[in-house]
């Protein structure tokens, strides 16, 4: 499979539905039908549930999307002055969002709706640009007129009730439908049962609730799809369904989305953080803190009332049988009651601001740790508050107050994840060490996912660990194990049974791994094809389809899809890199190198991508260009041992032997466990006539790999008593 593409812009809030280009009339929006539902809209619930309806009606859920209200919105739009000549030039018809900001939705050709980059702050009564200082340009995927900001694809699923995207790939257009604006009753409660809601208000026994009602874990999974960064597996989720049957949760693997300790970085929402937390592992759910109808917490955050419902002495027993730690906030925090430093939420749920105005609390409940700020650049609540003090002061205070309590698994995780993300030597060993003791499935899945991209993933019992996790109870861990197994040789037999896994997430990952062997009419093939068809309105969806065609040996079809992905998003490095690999496979080495070079130009700080450009130009027979890009690779990432190794080999091929020796020495220092690096150094030293140096390097190679035949041959030559004996 190709490496995942990297978008050069981050995702913001989006918009879309319905206008035909060329002056054609706009087709009517037909409300979707909901099978077996009598009460199709929230208004139908009002008579019997008046108090709940009233509480819900003014919330962010109820007002997540609405038509423009000319009288009510007149004051705001009086000062709405977007730049002329950009966008569809039509008047806003809908409003996306409520507080702390909302965006006007403009109809655009092809049944699209686009949220304008100018958003309104209803508290400050002012317009502002949601992208802040970014200068997004028309034609970019992330511009407000682009596919990255399209409402039909990116927003409506969670801002509407009963939404269906209804994208037609042949015409690249939408006929999207919905039941009602906003997040209404049936969006969370599901279609009503039996004759629930029929006739006059009932005074008899309550009608039956949906079958999952009362199961807090099931209810929480109904919250998850819209409170997570995730990938759709299907568009058929119903309240009460298992999350992993319809969604893939984003894990803290990409450093652009999460910090290495699991803190939120990009706009990732809450679900992953919760699943990574010790609290969720103990059985704490959304409903233990939040009222879903009012969108408020069930107890005030002030004076730590919300947190102390569990953490006041003696500590509440949690659903998994453990007792919550009893905490005296003043003694624990070393801050006076009522101060910011005494607040559980301020310290353990710090906020990150998105879209310039939306401050969102982290839901991982991590310990603030200034030492991780120093080591890895991870933010901590102490430094955020004590801006008048140095980082060293914060580290000293944290150590004075908490000492060894901070030397916890949180630090070990952060260091191991950061090491894997940077492909540092020993990264796989650190991940395997954590796997042996980790009891939180989301973290186990994270370690397995990080192993996928490490060169030594098969070392340190990697295959055994993947096999063990493929039998885990949690589907997230099983799916990650499948992805790791798929990268290891001779594991198809271990992956094949997982095509029958009861959870779709696992089945799809197994199908990805075995795609070339799936018959067209096989259930796994049909399920994978249905999944691939979901996102064909987005460049990433086209890329995934192209990847599958390539895995099946259909390079022409793969090239069409990936070329379309580039057309729709020309600034994502991964798409260019993928097309370059296809061109290389077709023997078009110069075209391939140019594409991979473009990827390296777009991923301007990525040393590995620059290395790939260098290797591509070497394959194309242009060593000078190759050397230039390999030098860029080591300048971008001086710790990238593979780049130093390849640079050394290239310099040696150009008879620049002293420079080659230096580059190979850097590679060997960074990765002293590589027999190949030591042997390469031995050959260069031999060519320079340094018989002793070549002998020592060959010995190092053989110590690491006693079966290294070439190193053994070189060693014999260096030990010859006849100095005239030529070295290999």
| Interacting residues of 418 by C-beta distance below 8 A, sequence separation 6+ | 255, 260, 376
DSSP state of 166: -
**pLDDT of 380 strictly over 70:** yes
The Cβ of residue 211 has, within 10 Å, a number of other Cβ atoms equal to: 11
Whether the per-residue pLDDT at 1 is higher than 70: the answer is no
pLDDT at residue 198, rounded to an integer: 58
DSSP secondary structure, 517-552, as one string: G--TTSHHHHHHHHHHTTTTTSHHHHHHHHHHHHHT
With a cut of 90, say whether residue 37 has pLDDT above it: no
Residue ranges per domain, the chain? 42-196, 220-368
Q: Is 149 helix (H, G, I), strand (E, B) or coil?
A: helix
Asked whether the predicted pLDDT for residue 19 surpasses 60, the reply is: no
Mean pLDDT of 165-170: 98
Q: What does the alpha-carbon distance between residue 407 and residue 380 come to, in Å, rounded to a whole number? A: 15
CB neighbours of 22 closer than 8 A, spacing ≥ 6? 109
Helices (H), 588-708: 589-602, 607-619, 623-636, 641-653, 657-670, 675-687, 691-704
Q: Per-residue pLDDT for 36 more than 60?
A: no
Asked if 484 and 455 touch (Cβ cutoff 8 Å), the reply is no
Minimum mean pLDDT range among 30-44, 150-164, 263-277: 30-44
Residue 30 pLDDT grade (very low, low, confident, very high; cuts 50, 70, 90): very low
Give the whole-angstrom CA distance, residue 550 versus residue 248.
23
Q: Are 87 and 117 in contact (CB under 8 A)?
A: no
Cα–Cα nearest to 644, from 680, 593, 691, 688:
680
- Residue 324 contacts residue 316 (beta carbons within 8 Å): yes
Beta 173-174 vs 167-168: how paired, if at all?
antiparallel
What confidence tier does 608 reach under pLDDT thresholds 50, 70, 90?
Answer: very high
Residue 175 has which token pair? 């006929």
Percent of the chain at pLDDT above 70?
Answer: 90
Per-residue pLDDT of 530-586, as tens digits, reads: 999 999 999 999 999 999 999 999 999 999 999 999 999 999 999 999 999 999 999
Phi, psi of 112 (to 5 degrees): -90, 155
Q: What residues contact 23, with CB distance under 8 A and at least 6 apart?
A: none
The DSSP code sequence of 668-694 is HHH-TT-HHHHHHHHHHHHHTT-HHHH
Percent of the chain with pLDDT over 90: 83
Beta bridge partners of 95: 66, 104
Backbone angles phi, psi at 322, to 5 degrees: -80, 160
pLDDT of residue 13: 29
CA distance linking residue 100 with residue 124, whole number of Å: 10
Q: Which residues contact 407 (CB under 8 A, 6 or more apart)?
A: none
Give the pLDDT band of residue 722 (cuts 50, 70, 90): low
Measured distance CA(710)–CA(705) in Å, rounded: 11
pTM: 0.89
**Whether residue 208 has pLDDT greater than 60:** no
> In terms of Cα–Cα distance, which of 533, 584, 582, 585 is closest to 562?
582
Pick from 441, 424, 304: which is nearest to 376 by CA? 424
d(CA 728, CA 716) in angstroms, rounded, equals 10
CB burial readout 430-460, b (16+ within 10 A) else e = bbbebbeebebbbbbbbbbbbbbbbebbbeb
Q: What gap in Å lies between CA 29 and CA 160, rounded to an integer?
A: 14
pLDDT band at 426 (very low <50, low <70, confident <90, very high): confident
* Residue 461 banded pLDDT, cuts 50, 70, 90: confident
Average pLDDT, the chain: 90
- Check residue 71 and give its pLDDT: 94
């Amino acid at each position: 499979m190709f490496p995942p593409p990297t978008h050069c812009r981050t995702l913001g809030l989006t918009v879309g539905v319905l206008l035909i280009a060329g002056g054609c009339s706009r087709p009517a929006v037909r409300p979707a039908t909901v099978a077996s539902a009598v009460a199709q809209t929230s208004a139908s619930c009002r008579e019997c549930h008046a108090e709940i309806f009233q509480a819900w009606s003014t919330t962010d859920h109820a007002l997540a999307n609405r038509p423009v209200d000319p009288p009510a919105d007149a004051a705001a739009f009086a000062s709405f002055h977007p730049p002329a000549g950009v966008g569809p030039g039509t008047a806003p018809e809908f409003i996306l969002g409520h507080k702390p900001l909302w965006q006007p939705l403009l109809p655009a050709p092809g049944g699209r709706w686009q949220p304008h980059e100018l958003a309104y702050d209803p508290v400050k009564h002012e317009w502002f640009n949601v992208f802040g200082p970014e200068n997004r340009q028309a034609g970019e995927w992330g511009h407000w007129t682009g596919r990255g900001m399209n409402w039909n694809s990116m927003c409506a699923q969670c801002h509407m009730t009963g939404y269906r995207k209804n994208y037609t790939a042949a015409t690249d257009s939408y006929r999207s439908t919905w039941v009602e604006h906003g997040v209404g009753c049936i969006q969370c409660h599901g279609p009503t049962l039996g004759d629930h809601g029929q006739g006059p208000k009932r005074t008899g026994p309550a009608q039956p609730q949906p079958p999952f009602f009362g199961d807090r874990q099931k209810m929480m999974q109904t919250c998850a799809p819209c409170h997570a960064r995730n990938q759709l597996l299907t568009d058929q989720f119903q309240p009460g369904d298992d999350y992993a049957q319809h969604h893939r949760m984003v894990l803290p693997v990409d450093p652009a989305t999460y910090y290495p300790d699991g803190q939120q970085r990009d706009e990732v929402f809450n679900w992953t953080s919760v699943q990574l937390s010790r609290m969720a592992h103990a059985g704490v759910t959304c409903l233990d803190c939040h009222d879903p109808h009012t969108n408020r917490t069930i107890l005030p955050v002030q004076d730590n009332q919300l947190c102390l419902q569990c953490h006041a002495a003696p500590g509440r027993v949690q659903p998994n049988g453990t007792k919550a730690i009893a905490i005296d906030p003043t003694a624990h925090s070393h801050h006076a009651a009522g101060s910011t430093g005494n607040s559980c939420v301020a310290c353990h749920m710090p906020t990150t601001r998105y879209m310039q105005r939306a401050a969102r609390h982290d839901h991982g409940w991590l310990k603030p740790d200034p030492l991780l700020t120093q080591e890895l650049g991870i933010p901590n609540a102490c430094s955020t508050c004590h801006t008048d003090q140095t980082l060293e002061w914060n580290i000293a205070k944290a150590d004075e107050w908490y000492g060894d309590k901070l030397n916890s698994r949180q630090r070990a995780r952060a260091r191991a994840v950061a090491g894997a993300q940077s492909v540092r030597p020993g990264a796989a060993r650190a991940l395997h060490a954590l796997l042996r003791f980790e009891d939180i499935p989301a973290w186990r899945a994270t370690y397995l996912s990080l192993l996928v991209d490490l060169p030594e993933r098969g070392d340190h019992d990697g295959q055994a660990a993947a096999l063990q996790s493929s039998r885990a109870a949690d589907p997230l861990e099983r799916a990650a194990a499948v992805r790791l197994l798929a990268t290891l040789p001779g594991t198809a037999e271990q992956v094949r049974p997982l095509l029958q896994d009861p959870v779709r997430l696992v089945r799809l990952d197994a199908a990805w791994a075995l795609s070339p062997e799936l018959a067209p009419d096989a259930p796994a093939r049909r399920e994978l094809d249905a999944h691939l068809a979901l996102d064909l309105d987005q460049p990433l969806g086209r890329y995934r389809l192209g990847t599958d065609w390539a895995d099946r040996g259909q390079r022409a079809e793969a090239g069409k899809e990936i070329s379309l992905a580039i057309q729709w998003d020309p600034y994502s490095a991964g798409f260019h890199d993928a097309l370059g690999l296809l061109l290389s496979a077709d023997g078009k080495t110069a075209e391939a190198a140019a594409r991979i070079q473009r990827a390296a130009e777009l991923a301007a700080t990525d040393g590995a991508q620059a290395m790939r450009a260098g290797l591509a130009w070497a394959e194309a027979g242009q060593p000078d260009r190759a050397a230039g890009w390999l030098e860029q690779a080591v300048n971008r990432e001086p710790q990238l041992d593979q780049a130093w190794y390849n640079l050394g080999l290239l310099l040696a091929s150009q008879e620049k032997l002293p420079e080659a020796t230096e580059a190979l020495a850097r590679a060997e220092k960074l990765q002293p466990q590589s027999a190949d690096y030591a042997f390469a150094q031995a050959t260069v030293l031999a060519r320079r006539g340094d018989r002793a140096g070549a002998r020592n390097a060959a010995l190092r190679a053989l110590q690491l790999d006693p079966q290294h035949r070439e190193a053994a041959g070189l060693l014999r030559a260096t030990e010859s008593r006849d100095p005239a004996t030529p070295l290999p």
